[in-house]
Structures are given as structure tokens and as C-alpha cells.
Amino acid sequence: MMITITNAAAICNLGDNLDEIFQNLTAGKLTDFKVTSPLPEITSEKYNIRCNRMLLHCLNQIKPDISRLIEKYGKKKIGVVIATTNTGIDKFEITHNYELLKMSNPAEFLKEYLGLEGLFCGVSTACSSGIKAFSIAQKWIESGLCDAVIAGGADELSKFPLAGFKSLEVLSDKRSNPFSKNVTGINISEAAALFVLEKENKGIKVLGLGETSDAYHISTPNPDGEEAAKAMLNALKEANLNPSNIDYINLHGTGTLANDTMEANAVSKIFDGKTPVSATKPLTGHCLGAAASIETAICYELLSNNKNILPPHIYDGEYNPDIPKLNLVSKNTKVNEVKNVMCNAFGFGGTNAVIILGK
């Protein structure tokens, strides 16, 4: 069963709505990796964390659609699934309130805030979480448990993951430089995105989802990219598309040598090197549990508003000669039409997730 995104909203360092984010992204605007927009307040101490405040900001942008969902389907048939990895860990260290640590806290917050009575859950599969949320939503709708799902992801800047990535020696104090011979490492950022998912004909279709697992190493992907390539093939098979039907790929593109090598190998196994690709993390930063959510939102915006300019790949231009060559999108690359796009997400533990969106 095909599900449709009937509306979406997002916030990140590049802007407080999808249009602004996309404009700044395609312009190659360089900013600090932090959301600076004012965020709505939350009175409940159980839910008063930055993740939820960013989600509420997104929710406020699509309020009419949420009201329509409740009127159309009822409160029991609308699910909520939200991806995250940090929730409120920094605030927990101060308050010792374990509710703030629950990976289901953001999803539960939205459910309670909207007065819904259906399913809710959190997803925490590292950087693939945002696409995994779509997979769960699809299963809920296919099974008849839900008629609509509010899906998305949110993660806030936190000392805990910053310390973790520093200990792994992959955290960079320079802007990330994916697929360059001069890789610098990752930049941690924050973001939130929400999607309204229904069985509708009008909207951007979730054509295919692909999931695999490396079972290779807890923090390093298998360099040959075999399972990541299988995830792309699985998504293509579900979408009933050939590689040549994909007009653009948003790469995971963390800017570490391990990820660059794996992803270049994986993409080159499936695609011929001509498909336009880019990593948007040099501009948005790596938003961890919300990374795949904000990148899917970028792909949604590319399709939904008939944008004729592709997200650029911002790096130093010195491609790593030791990995397969990819067709990295240059700044101001315009196209006649984009019909189908792919978004990749690969996380710790070898968790791979791929989504294909289409008009």
C-alpha cells in the first residue's frame, strides 16, 4: 500500500520553515549549527524539552491539517511516531526526571498535546531513525491500525553525543567536507520535522522504503557498502523503479572517511555515476535522530513545490581519488523536472534505511 505525505513542516539552523530552509540550502548559506528561531513554551515539566519545543513549532505550521485529520479519522485512528536519539538528556542531568530520557517522550508529547487516543512510539536507531519512522507509519496504515500517522523526528544539541563523537575522534571543529580527500569529520546540529501521512492520491508519495543491517561493527559501516546497496535496491523494488528513474539522491554524507567510502561504494553498485547526488550535512549539520527527517523534508520540498534547483554539495572540490566517483551537484544546478528522489540514512550498528519519494 502506498502512503502519501499530505503536508510537512521543519525547523533547523537554516530556517524555521521548509521554504526558508530550501532557499538557504540551495544558496549554500553557511550558518552556525544551532536553531536560533524563538520556540514555543511548554508548561508541563514532563515534556518541557527542546526536542518537543521544536516539534511544537513544526506542529503549529500545519495546525489546519491536524484539525482536518482529527475531524476526518477521529482521535483513535491517528498514530504518532517520532524519531530521536537524545530526547532531554541534558535536562535530565539537572532534574533527574527519567521521563525526559524516554525515547517515546516526543511522540507521547504530541499525542497528549493533540488529545489523540491511538498508537504512539519513539524510534531510536541512530541516524536511520527518521526513515524508520516512515516504515513504522506505513505498517500501521497498511494493517488498518491507523488511518493517518503524524511521523517525524527531533533531536537537540546535547553534551552527551558531542562527548561521544569526540571520543571516537570523528567530531570536527571545521565544516564537514564529505567525499573530499581532505575529510574533517562531522558537525553535530539540531532539527525537527513533521509529516502528515495518509492513504491519499494528492500529495508526495512514499514510493519505496528499504531497510537492511550490516551486523559488521557497532560504530563503523562495512566499507564495501553491500547492505547499504541492498537497502537502496529494496526501496527501488518496492517503488517499482529502476535506478535510471531516480532524479536525485540525498546522501547520508557525514564527512568521515568510513562513511564516505561505504556510501560511495554502495551508490556505485546501483547507479552509473551520472545520477545527481549531494550531501546536505555541510549546511544543516548532522542532526542525529532527526538527520533523516530533515533530509527527507528537503526532498519533500524539492518535489512538492516544483523546485527546479537541486540541493548543492558544498565541499572543497578535491574529490577523494580512492573512492568511486559520484556526480556531486554543483551550486546553482537547475533541472527541468524532478519526479523521483532517494534519501539515504545509515546509522551506528549498521542500520541502513532508504526512502524514495515521488510525485
Task: Give catalytic residue positions.
Answer: 127, 252, 286
Cβ within 8 Å of residue 310, ≥6 positions away: 26, 248, 276, 278, 302, 329, 333, 334, 335, 338
Compute the Cα dihedral for 167, 172, 177, 181 and give only its sign. negative
Q: Give 358's strand partners.
A: 205, 340
How many CA atoms does the CB half-sphere of 14 hold within 13 Å? Answer: 29
